[in-house]
Amino acid sequence: MTAKSGDSVSPSASAFTSDSSKSTKRVPPPESSESIQTRFRVIASFWAVIIFLGFPIWWKTTSIYRAHLPIQEMVDWADGKTCRPVYPLEIHVAAPSLQLTESQHLLRTTQHTLDDLNEFAAHHLRLKLANDTVAHTGDDKVDNLDNRPSDADAADIALTVRVLPEEGLVTPRSELQAHTTQLDVFYPPSQIPSPSTSNPPLSTFIAQELQRIYGEEKATIAHILSGESSALDSTSPELTESISRRLRRSMQYAETYHLSFSLFTPGSAPSSWDIEAAIQEYLAPLLHAFSPISNFTIDTQVQLYATFSPMTPAPVYDEAESAWTLKKEDLSAFINAAEWPLNPSIGSGPTLNFILYVPDPSQSPMIVKENRASSWIVPQWGGVFLLNPQLEKNQANPASLSQDSLQSAFKTFSHQLLTLLGTPSTPASLPLRLQTLVRIRAASLLLSASSTMGSLARLTESLPSIPIPANVASSVSITLSHLSAACSDLREGRFNAALASARIAENEAERSFFEKTMVGQAYFPDEHKVAVYLPLLGPIGVPLVVGLIKEVKRIVAAWKARRRAAV
Amino acid sequence: MTTFSFPLLLALAVTLWSFNVFASTEYHEQLFLQPLPQSSLLASFNFRSNTSQQSFDNQHFQYFPRALGQILQYANAKELHLRFTTGRWDAESWGPRPWGGSKEGGTGVELWAWIDASDDDEAFAKWITLTQSLSGLFCASLNFVDSTRTTRPVVSFEPTGNHRNAEGLHLLHGTLPGEVVCTENLTPFLKLLPCKGKAGISTLFDGHKLFDAAWQSMSVDMRPMCNSEDDCVIQIEQTVDMVLDIERSKRPRANPIPRPLANEFLACDTSKPYNSEDSCYPLEKTTDDAWSMSEVFGRTLNGVCPLTGPDGTNEHSVCLRVPHEKQVFISEGSREVKKEDGFTRCFNLAPGQPFDLSIPEQAVNTPVPLEDPILNAERTIVGHGQERGGMRIIFGNPSNTTAVDFILFESLPWFLRPYIHTLQATITGRDGITTDIPASDLVTSTFYRPAIDRERGTQLEIALSVPAASTVTLTYDFEKAILRYTEYPPDANRGFNVAPAVIRILNTADSAPVYIRSTSLLLPLPTPDFSMPYNVIILTSTVIALAFGTVFNILVRRVVSVDEAAALGAQTLKGRILGKLVAIRDKVRSKGTKVD
């Protein structure tokens, strides 16, 4: 039995001319419309199964889940359209010796002068008259960042200015207390501003003092917010340079820093150091002051027989200095990263390494050639201090380093720690510098979380094939809500709250950006899949497609014939 | 009843244990050398340092390595034992193991730790943290110790330190029998030492020699040692034991290939009747090989590590066990001290000067006595075929008087499914008579935790007793699982490693633990042809396409008779092409006839 495709229902004998002599050609009867109908149904049902069952299943099983992300909002944050960080600093002025009207006048004129001086609108100082109770208890209440006002809605008090009369002064003088957030301004009693004078010298003086105190902070924040390009006009190039250098050197903000103190020596001595006492004495107060901003863990180690790497240029003896000198450009190779066990501490948070290097007696004293320094900072990594014990000729290093001999090293380490954490160098009061650090950190975290959001938005836009799990979407929404919380906290002067929000925003932003499941583990290129399934799809697809084409042809022909017939 | 062929080593271990643990010195190191039969040399290095519990908790590390200390704190591990072992200890020739086997592991890497945790899940999470961190620290694949390779032995191990909170401690044990121990594990090991291989006995370590040894085992042990409730120290002890083939080690590195001796240098037994120009029966050597430390280790010992000893000098940091009558040359500046036992001598090294010792070739009259081991154990896989197999473990008790009680600890991978009901024992006396006895006659207790596929392996601990002067053979059957396609390693046809069995001997003379480990085994599993999935895809695709095509054609095509088909055929493309071809042929033919 031979089966032939039965599409042509009207075969004509004229089609074959040359090979007509062999057998009697009998044309089969035209197909019944019933069988044509059946064939049509068969093909249609096959295609229906493919279209309504096969394709949806294939689509469903191979599609990737992409949670909805508020792309536009994220891009707006990254472009800085949503939030312009502002820093209204609340400064309390207490003038217990002045009349209320006098002090109000002083306040008004000082504020006026300040506003005239200020050129960076985002950062402005708001003076406020302190009620007497605050003014009197001011020195013990605001002495620590821990004791910030318990009322969460109230703005943080950045500084308390106490205006005090002092006999025998010609011009006003000020005194910034090193351990509190209090500025004492002493003025000669003769200069009590009368309500009539529009610009009393005392107001000008106070305004200038405040401007001086917050000058570096303003420049830093302006630098962070504007990027590398434009700083304030009034900042000196030196200050700009020092700010950008500090920002380059300082670590990324983290909740916990691991501090690792290591004693390295090329020989066998000193093999012990009075490290616990030294840390307790020289470092613990500083770390305590930092506790509202970051936490610290400390570990220490002693590493003997720590030699330089063979690539490091050896120190050179300098006759003039009578010391062994290291060239400044070689300092980057000082640390033998391959052999010295300086692996980061376990746990989240970056590690800051502080290295106390005691040179061999044959190479002691050791200093840096260019500036005779004995310490340097390794940006974003830590600091090194060369400790040269006082030695007689041919004397070995002491077996143990006492707490006193570590004092200079730990003073340097504290300074390096402040620099590495990004603390500004002015003003003199540590609490004020830490407050400044809070504001700087809040600004940089806000910016970094925003730009991470922008990167994530761009990434998901540009790669349509990566999945977006639901937890990324929730992280993004947490980030955005905390970003706006941080922004409004800043606007209202609650900087610690702003830092806390910005910290959460940053964490969530990082988590969403580095979500592991967004990157496929197994990747099969399309060519591979086609090659594997071609043995199935080819033999099945060809008859189906051919059947479909023939059926379409037949329908078109039938339709044409009917039209012709109608005409 | 039990005597050790290493009385000195044990004595050393015990004295160090009892005296030096709480001594003022915080660091101690010692090298012990002993020539073994068959021209082998056992070199046993021991390094130990202490740190007070308080400075450990505050992370002030002096001699204790900071990296390891932080890992232990992060993982809440209170006691840790890590072993890297290669090769096989030849107990028949070399006698019992150094340190009573307590400082060696099974082939590959073995790790066990007591972890402080509130429940099993937390302990396991901490354990995973621990293995991941140690994997990075020691450059070993310890991160592959997952739940299938982790067991929780009940009776096989006991903490060696003093623990305050013993109830909250969870013992976890993991092995990697397939891990190849090599130099990349030695470098981090050396970094943990305070003198870092720059001074003291650790200067002798050379990766080429160490991993060329017939057997070597590196260990790291960390444990707390307490005098009283508040007076605790954390002790870290590192050991390296190796058995070097003296002749092989003496080969110069420039010319490491052994070459045959010329005929005139061969020592032949001329009394043999067949002795001639071209046949030689080698004469047994009457003298021991000459060797020196610099030849065998490839370098000299560089002074002493100045941290040891109360005054910075290290007494007896190198000891040698040869008969006193034997001549030993040592470097200038160092002093030899002979011990009373007639076999041991120790050396006081001059600080800062290289030390070497050499033994000339000389006749041996009183060889160093080697005792029999307490127990000989051997484990093999028996049976054939892809489906089933059997395990056979042979225990020999060399003692004529005492039975040996011990615990056999097996941690089997999940794809080896043992049938515990097939556990059988035969006992063979010295007379060679074998009797089958029920296993329950020998087994005093069993701890069994069956495997769960892909989740955990079998854990089997059997307490056994082998009577005096007899050999016990323990057998059980197992079934081999078929793995999933992706579970096979790249070298699947090599076989799958089965971790060595650990044998803990119970009734030892003193409290010192004695362990024996069997060799690791290779289990051949049924391995598929790995192009199989593609073959399967193509075959099934073809079958489906065939079936579909047939069904579809029957449904869609029209059935006509043959002559009708011919008429229809001309209509189709094929028919038309055929018609054209025939027409061309006819034309050509007619032309041909015209020419004719």
The CATH number of whichever domain residue B387 belongs to comes to 2.60.40.740
On the question of pLDDT at A220 being above 80, the answer is yes
Is A299's CB within 8 Å of B545's CB? no
Range of the domain at A339: 255-420
Considering the domain architecture, whether residues A103 and A212 belong to the same structural domain is answered as yes
Q: Does A521 touch chain B (CB under 8 A)?
A: no
Give A381-404 pLDDT, tens digit per residue: 999 999 988 877 777 888 888 888
Q: Name the residue in chain A with its Cα closest to that of B554.
A: A3
Q: Residue A2's pLDDT band (boundaries 50, 70, 90)?
A: very low
Q: What digits encode the pLDDT tens for the residues A252-297?
A: 888 889 999 999 998 888 888 889 999 999 999 889 888 888 889 9
Instruction: Provide the pLDDT for residue B569.
Output: 66
Same domain, A269 and A365: yes
d(CA B369, CA B342): 11
**Is B175 domain-assigned?**
yes
Average pLDDT rounded to a whole number, residues A75-84: 85
Interface of B with A in 292-311 (CB under 8 A): 305-307
Pairing of strands B150-151, B169-176: antiparallel
Interchain proximity B195–A275, CB inside 8 Å: no
Work out the average pLDDT over B286-307.
Answer: 84
Q: Is residue A262 part of a domain?
A: yes
Residue A19 pLDDT > 50, yes or no? no
The DSSP bridge partners found for residue B142 are none
> Residues 6 or more apart from A523 whose CB is under 8 A from it?
none
A268 and A416, same structural domain?
yes
Q: Specify whether the CB–CB gap between B293 and B356 falls below 8 A.
A: yes
Q: What are the two backbone dihedrals, phi and then psi, of residue A544, each rounded to the nearest 5 degrees?
A: -65, -45
- Please, which residues 11-30 of chain A have a Cβ atom closer than 8 Å to chain B? 11, 13, 15-19, 23-28
CA distance A372 to A383: 16
For A447-485, letters b (16+ CB in 10 Å) and e give bbbbebbbebbeebeeeeeebbbeebbebbebbbebbbb
**A304 close contact with B: CB closer than 8 A:** yes
**What does the pLDDT look like over B461-498, one tens digit per residue?**
999 999 988 999 999 999 999 898 888 888 888 999 99
Residue A139 has pLDDT above 50, yes or no: no
A212's enclosing H/E stretch is helix A201-213
* B544:A536 CB<8 A: yes
Domain assignment present for B365:
no
Please tell me the predicted confidence (pLDDT) of residue A119. 75
- Residue from the list A6, A19, A24 with its beta carbon closest to the beta carbon of B579: A19
d(CA B389, CA B495): 14
Contact A269 B306 (CB under 8 A): yes
What pLDDT sits at residue B396?
Answer: 92
Specify whether B264 is located in the same domain as B310.
Answer: yes
Q: Is residue B66 part of a domain?
A: yes
Domain-terminating residue out of B466, B495, B523: B523
Question: What is the number of domains present in chain B?
Answer: 3
Residue A248 lies in a domain: no
- Tell me if A466 is assigned to some domain: no
Confidence grade of residue A227 (pLDDT, cut at 50, 70, 90): low
Same domain, A122 and A167: yes
Q: In this structure, what CATH number is given to the domain that contains residue A371?
A: 3.40.390
Burial A61-98 (b: 16+ CB within 10 A, else e): eeeeebeebebebbbbbbeeebbebebbbbbbbbbeeb
Q: How confident is the model over B220-258, as pLDDT tens digits? A: 999 998 887 778 889 999 999 999 998 888 887 777 788
pLDDT digits (tens, 9 = 90+) for B124-171: 999 999 999 999 999 999 999 999 999 999 999 988 888 888 888 999
Say if B544 is an interface residue toward chain A (CB within 8 Å).
yes
Asked whether residue B582 falls in the same domain as residue B462, the answer is no
B89, B234: one domain: yes
User: Which range, A12-16, A166-170, A198-202, A417-421, has the best average confidence (pLDDT)?
Assistant: A417-421
Note whether B321 and B421 are same-domain residues. Answer: no
* Mean pLDDT value across chain A: 81
- 3-state SS assignment for residue A108: helix
Are residues A334 and A403 located together in one domain of the fold? yes
Tens of pLDDT along A295-310?
899 999 999 888 888 8
Question: Residue B585 falls within a domain, yes or no?
Answer: yes
| In a shared domain, residues B425 and B460 | yes
Return the pLDDT at A315.
Answer: 87
Reported as a pLDDT band with limits 50, 70 and 90, residue B10 is very low
What is the tally of structural domains in chain A? 3
Query: Is residue A215 one of the residues assigned to a domain?
Result: yes
Interface list for B 194-223 with A (CB within 8 A) = 194-196, 198-199
Among A386, A420, A454, give the residue marking a domain's end: A420
Q: Respond yes or no on whether the N-terminal peptide bond of residue B96 is cis (omega within 30° of 0).
A: no
Nearest to A267 by CA among A312, A214, A308, A212: A308
Percentage of chain A modeled with pLDDT above 90: 18
Q: Which of A5, A273, A545 to mutate to test the interface with B (most CBs of B within 10 A)?
A: A5
Q: Which of A52-56, A425-429, B334-338 has the highest mean pLDDT?
A: A52-56
Q: In this structure, is residue A283 part of a structural domain?
A: yes
Cα gap A65→A437, rounded to integer Å: 42
Whether residue A100 is found in the same domain as residue A172 = yes
The residue among A420, A446, A480 that closes a domain is A420
Q: How confident is the model at residue B20, as a pLDDT? A: 40
Q: Which has the higher per-residue pLDDT, A48 or B229?
A: A48
A388 and A533 together in one domain: no
DSSP class of residue B172?
A: E
Q: Is the pLDDT of residue A81 over 60?
A: yes
Residue A201 lies in a domain: yes
Nearest chain B CA: its distance from A428 CA (Å): 33
A390 contacts chain B (CB < 8 A): no
Q: Give the span between the Cα atoms of B41 and B249, in whole angstroms.
A: 10
Using the predicted structure, report yes or no on whether residue B114 has a pLDDT greater than 90.
yes
- How far apart are alpha carbons B95 and B371 in whole angstroms? 6
A51 with A99, same domain: the answer is no
Which DSSP helix (H) or strand (E) runs through B437?
strand B434-437
With respect to residue B367, please indicate whether it lies within any of the assigned structural domains.
no
| In a shared domain, residues A205 and A327 | no
Is pLDDT above 60 for A11? no
Helices (H) and strands (E) in chain B, counts: 12, 29
Dist CA A560 CA A265 (whole Å) = 99
B318: pLDDT strictly greater than 60: yes
Predicted local distance difference test score (pLDDT) of residue A193 = 63
Q: Which residue among A16, A300, A304 sits closest to B60, beta carbon to beta carbon? A: A300
Using a CB-CB cut-off of 8 Å, the residues of chain B touching A300 are 59-61, 66
Taking only residues 32 to 71 of chain B, the set having a beta carbon closer than 8 angstroms to any beta carbon of chain A reads: 55, 58-63, 65-67, 70-71
Q: Answer yes or no: is B133 within a domain.
A: yes
In A313-342, the residues whose Cβ lies within 8 Å of chain B are 339, 341
Nearest Cα residue in chain A from B562: A2
Residue B356 C-beta-side C-alpha neighbours within 13 Å: 13
For all residues of chain B together, what is the average pLDDT?
Answer: 85
Beta-strand runs (E) in A122-219: 123-129, 157-165, 173-176, 182-187
Whether B435 is covered by a domain: the verdict is yes
Give the one of A35, A276, A304 whose C-beta lies nearest to B58's C-beta. Answer: A276
| Structural domain boundaries, residue B483 | 376-523
Q: How far is CA A274 from the centre of its chain?
A: 37
Q: Is B162 helix (H, G, I), strand (E, B) or coil?
A: coil
Same domain for A205 and A290, yes or no, is no
Q: Do residue A45 and residue A139 come from a single domain? A: no
User: Could you give the residue ranges of the DSSP H alpha helices within B251-309?
Assistant: 293-297
- B547 — contact with chain A (CB < 8 Å)? no
Instruction: Specify if B2 maps to a domain.
Output: no
With respect to residue A401, please indicate whether it lies within any of the assigned structural domains.
yes
Among A389, A420, A451, identify where a domain stops: A420
In percent, the amount of chain B with pLDDT more than 70 equals: 92
Using CB atoms within 10 A of its CB, is residue A386 exposed (0-12), middle (13-18) or buried (19+)?
Answer: buried
Q: Are residues B431 and B316 in the same domain?
A: no
B482 and B548, same structural domain? no
Q: Answer yes or no: do A273 and A376 share one domain.
A: yes
Domain limit, last residue, from B359, B390, B413: B359
List pLDDT tens digits, range B386-438: 899 999 999 999 888 888 999 999 999 999 999 999 999 999 988 888 888 88
- State the pLDDT confidence band at B76, using cuts at 50, 70 and 90: very high
- Nearest CA distance, B100 vs chain A (angstrom): 33
| B178 lies in the same domain as B46 | yes
Is A436 contained in some domain? no
Contact between B390 and B479 under an 8 Å Cβ cutoff? The reply is: no
A540 contacts on B by Cβ (under 8 Å): 544-545, 548-549
pLDDT of amino acid B413: 93
What's the rounded Cα separation, in Å, for the pair B200 and B318?
10
User: Are B396 and B501 found together in one domain?
Assistant: yes
Span B44-57, mean pLDDT?
A: 89
Residue A233: name the closest of A119, A311, A399, A153 by CA: A119
Do B561 and B451 lie in a common domain? no
> Are both B344 and B438 inside the same structural domain?
no
